[in-house]
Amino acid sequence: MNYVVSNFEKVKKIIGNNVNIIAVSKSFKYDHIKPLVEYGHRHFGENKVQEAQHKWFDIKNELIDLKLHMIGKLQSNKAKQAVDLFDYIHSVDSPKLAALLSKYELTLKKKRKYFIQINLGSEKQKSGILIDELENFFDHCIKVLNLEIIGLMAIPPNDGNEAKYFRILMNLNRSLGLQELSMGMSGDFKEAIKYNATFVRIGSAIFGKRI
């Protein structure tokens, strides 16, 4: 068995079948990812639109059930390309971006699934909606922009209190009646699934370290 597939199976055994594993394939060439695709896994994550277009455009046309996730910060000037390519966008982090995504859904006649990114620690270096702005932003996305918001996403502050932040995000998600929750990476996914994560973003634990 290919070692990438073996790593994936180890992660899946820990997580179980009720959580979606986004295999974070950013920066890896397709030849490195291909064994997992051939194994049947279908959720992959990228953080750069141009790289994803180059790597996945032809593959997505061949495999109609493959789901591509935009997990990095999405620049406004890449919004149209993102709507065209990605099935899920995890980083809706501003009213400006949300409006552009809505515009390009109409232009391209494509509907996508979105997560609102929350800045849990009010960190200046991180993107995301502040907690006290979330309810109004969510209502605007749903009622005015007609975006399909399926859940929240966050990358917690790196201060050793992941469980605290995962609990906050879980409760915010519940308060909005959302069903999906995107949180947890290779280093903390075990903790994230304790707090009802439904999508975890696993890169190095599957593909190995990036060079």
The residues, any chain, with a CB within 8 Å of residue 164's CB and separated by 6 or more, are: none
- How many structural domains does the chain have? 1
**Integer Cα distance of 91 and 68 in angstroms:** 13
Q: What is the pLDDT of residue 124?
A: 73
Joined tokens for residue 104: 């390009």
Where do the H-state alpha helices sit in the chain? Answer: 3-15, 30-39, 49-62, 79-85, 95-108, 134-139, 162-175, 189-194, 204-207
Q: How many beta carbons lie within 10 A of that of residue 32, not counting itself? A: 14
pLDDT for 211: 62
Which ranges of the chain have pLDDT less than 70?
123, 211
Note the pTM of the prediction, 2 decimals.
0.95
CATH of the domain at 62: 3.20.20.10
Give the CA count within 13 Å in the CB-facing half-sphere of 197: 28
Structural domain for 161, as ranges: 3-207
60-85 pLDDT tens trace: 999 999 999 999 999 999 999 999 99
pLDDT of residue 117: 97
**Cβ neighbours around 183 below 10 Å, total:** 32
- Taking 3-state DSSP, the helix, strand and coil percentages for the chain, each rounded to the nearest 5, stand at 45, 20, 35
pLDDT tens, residue by residue, 120-140? 877 677 789 999 999 999 999
CA separation for the pair 113, 131 (Å, rounded): 21
